[in-house]
Structure 1
Amino acid sequence: MKLKVVLLATLLVAAAGCARGEETTAAPAASSTQGQQVVATPTGASTGPTCTLEQFGGTKFDLKTAVVGFSQSEKEANPFRIAETQSIKDEAAKLGIENLRVTNAQSQFSKQITDVQQLIAQGAQLLVIAPLNSDGWEPVLQQAAAKKIPIITVDRKINAKPCSDYLTFIGSDFYQQGQRAADQMIKALGGKGKVAILLGAPGNNVTTERTNGFKDRIKEKGTGIEISFEQTGEFAREKGQQVTEQLIQSNPDINGIYAENDEMALGAVTALKGAGKEPGEIKIVSVDGTKSAVQGIVDGWLYSVIESNPRFGPLAFETAQKFLNGEPIPDKVIISDREYDTTNAASSLSEAY
């Protein structure tokens, strides 16, 4: 089935769910087609609000001729960011959106705030933002609210009120990603051993939720797994390598590493190779689903990778169009993420980003 049809059908179901007070929530994806976005189906009651154009207080406009701003947060050396930005650009081109303006904050939060303020000054009528941090958005939110500019955040949440400060959040269930990573670690270690966590960058909900999901599931399962080391690798490969080098020195008996993104996991692999470790000697579970990480499973260095889907373009613009059509939009739209391990990594390598 073509992507457009899949998305339309899913969103129609989601709209019906919204009318009943349901939330679009994640469920693990059994499979994925290369380049496509897997959208979750409604699975439970929502306690969050929905938002319509009338409630938001904006005016309808034509997406094709509107000024649309996309603010990327991080340097596009990370495959996730490359795929995310490309998805936005590709879908805008597909829909005939004439005035897409893309900025990149180069991992500097102050620059991202300035970037978005400039997009507002340039007449942006819709903003899609991949936030670097969850806090500190007040100046942007105030300016956007004054002009009734809907904001869709992708991949990270901002700590603000939906339907007034911003429209909605589109992204993964990060807590569930942590839970699924824990399940894989438990399986890899047979339920016992010492585990290190390479934490993501501080100050955003992704790090917090991936950490809590992992720890809560380990505790919930009542295993013999001990989390004996935690340190931020800031979602960066080089930092992940440095932290793992320290880890090997301070905790030579470590059995597993949970990396909260693939870049840190790949940095950890470099450190392990440098220390003379063999593939699989220390079990590594990570989150993202990049091609390099999935190849790491094939090569024996990684045990499992939980996908974090970066292809937000189709859903972001479908959501915006629904909003402009007067349909109710949930406060968050959660997409499904697949999972890679030794059973499917080789055959699914072409589907990773």
Structure 2
Amino acid sequence: MKKKLLALSLSLAMAFSLAACGGNGGTANSNTPAGDGSDDGPIQVGFAQVGHESDWRTASTKSAQDVFSEENGYELSFVDCDNDSAVQLDAVRNFIQQGMDYIIIDPIVDTGWDAVLTECEDAGIPVIIIDRTITDSDKYTAWVGSDFKVEGLACGEWLKAFAADKGIEEINALVIEGSTGASATIGRTDGFKEIADREGWTILDSQSGDFTEAGGQEVMESYCQSYKGQFNVVICQNDNEAAGAMTAMDAAGVSYGVDGDVILVSFDANKPYVQLVMDGKINANFECNPMAAPMVDEIIKQLENNETPEKEVYVTESWFAAEDNIKTITVNGEEQEMVHVTQEVLDARPY
């Protein structure tokens, strides 16, 4: 089904129902072609990706390329926007001009989207947002991703339990944030700060490492000079920043991890960094699942069948720890497991 017919069906569907907020999303069967069996050719999908700044981003891109393949009934137009918001807006407008059937956006920043989403709406092209969120417009069909504030809250709740178990009475934390304006940065920062404020912890400093290894190293080098001997926790908002922070702390003679003086926490839980959790270099790592593409595929199948998808679909995620002293944590009133990383756990990681 192409976009003009789809726009009509969406308008009729919206007149009779409201899209509901979803729970944990399932995995679509991407081996089943997405097309409706007509002679219209493959479904054309344009994907405006944030960039290539991290291992997580690489996994997200590969997932999309695997799912939106020719054998699955798609023709994918992919644009790496290299963390440039203007480039991303231009990419979306080019997709409109090219007459894409669907547009996927992983938004670099969470605002400034209403105008271009209105243009997509006027062109009858459904837009599916993945990963990061958009806060200044609801003119998209569906969003698939993580609850970033919950990730930040989980980090704080684990740290509270871990410190109590180890008899650590005072927390003096340094935070290496992600890219400024990204919803992942905002959510993880707000979530952790909520727990820190509640528990009376000190956040000595919080600066952007731009979700890159080089950025994490640069910020951590500055921290080691400015706060030497004052901090006992480092929170890195993605794995690549954690890698940079470890390099900086190694050079400065700061010990970290299970056998060190500094508790090191990361987000994303890419397989090489879950390995570092198992090795005791990273104390805990909070997953951000990059495999949104199979669920987007399922949403497109629903739209092709004139069904109304849920407005929000959350991916499933796990929390990983180097030690097994903390079995569970409670986040927003729900008890969640902390996974002690063993070789079996590592081998089961898909990315």
Give the TM interval when normalised to the shorter protein: 0.7 to 0.9
Structure 1 position 25 matched with structure 2 position 23: yes
Q: CA deviation at 1:272?
A: 0.8
Q: CA deviation at 1:316?
A: 0.4
Q: CA deviation at 1:147?
A: 0.7
Distance (Å, rounded) in 1 between the aligned partners of 2:287 and 2:74: 32
User: What secondary structure, in the 3-state scheme, does the structure 1 residue paired with 2:210 have?
Assistant: coil
Unpaired runs of 5+ residues, structure 2, are 1-16, 28-35, 323-339
Distance (Å, rounded) in 1 between the aligned partners of 2:236 and 2:153: 13
Structure 1 position 278 matched with structure 2 position 275: no
User: What secondary structure, in the 3-state scheme, does the structure 1 residue paired with 2:68 have?
Assistant: helix
Aligned partner (choices 298, 302, 311) of residue 322 of structure 1: 302
Within 5 Å, which residues of 2 pair with 1:1-353? 23-26=21-24, 65-75=42-52, 77-93=53-69, 96-162=72-138, 165-190=139-164, 192-220=170-198, 223-252=199-228, 253-280=230-257, 281-342=261-322, 343-350=340-347, 351=349, 353=351
Q: Which amino acid aligns with 2:223?
A: L
Of 274-283 and 242-251, more deviation after overlay is shown by 274-283
Distance (Å, rounded) in 2 between the aligned partners of 1:317 and 1:64: 17
TM-aligned CA distance change 1:179 to 1:64, over 3 Å: farther
- Tell which has more relative contact order, 1 or 2 (C-alpha 8 A, sep 6+): 1
Q: Which amino acid aligns with 1:89?
A: Q
Deviations, residues 126-184 of structure 1 (Å, cap 9, x unaligned): 0111111112224421321111110001001112433xx21111100111100111122
* TM-score normalised by length of structure 2: 0.79
Distance (Å, rounded) in 2 between the aligned partners of 1:66 and 1:286: 38
User: What secondary structure, in the 3-state scheme, does the structure 2 residue paired with 1:131 have?
Assistant: coil
The answer to whether the 8 A contact 2:274-2:341 is kept is: no
The answer to whether the 8 A contact 2:237-2:266 is kept is: yes
TM-aligned CA distance change 1:270 to 1:334, over 3 Å: same
Deviations, residues 276-302 of structure 1 (Å, cap 9, x unaligned): 123422111111011232122123221
Distance (Å, rounded) in 2 between the aligned partners of 1:107 and 1:198: 18
Q: CA deviation at 1:21?
A: 7.8
The answer to whether the 8 A contact 1:73-1:107 is kept is: yes
TM-aligned CA distance change 1:101 to 1:304, over 3 Å: same
Q: CA deviation at 1:95?
A: 6.0
Q: CA deviation at 1:117?
A: 1.4
Distance (Å, rounded) in 1 between the aligned partners of 2:276 and 2:93: 40
TM-aligned CA distance change 1:254 to 1:83, over 3 Å: same
Q: Which amino acid aligns with 1:204?
A: A
Partner of 1:14: none
Q: CA deviation at 1:22?
A: 5.4
Alignment: residue pair count: 300
Q: Which has the larger radius of gyration?
A: 2
Unpaired runs of 5+ residues, structure 1, are 1-18, 27-36, 40-59
The answer to whether the 8 A contact 1:297-1:345 is kept is: no
TM-aligned CA distance change 1:20 to 1:202, over 3 Å: closer
Q: Equivalent pairs: percent with the same residue?
A: 27
Deviations, residues 15-47 of structure 1 (Å, cap 9, x unaligned): xxxx89853235xxxxxxxxxx866xxxxxxxx
TM-aligned CA distance change 1:116 to 1:209, over 3 Å: same
Partner of 1:55: none
Give the superposed CA RMSD.
Answer: 2.4
* TM-score normalised by length of structure 1: 0.78
Of 129-138 and 237-246, more deviation after overlay is shown by 129-138
Distance (Å, rounded) in 2 between the aligned partners of 1:318 and 1:116: 22
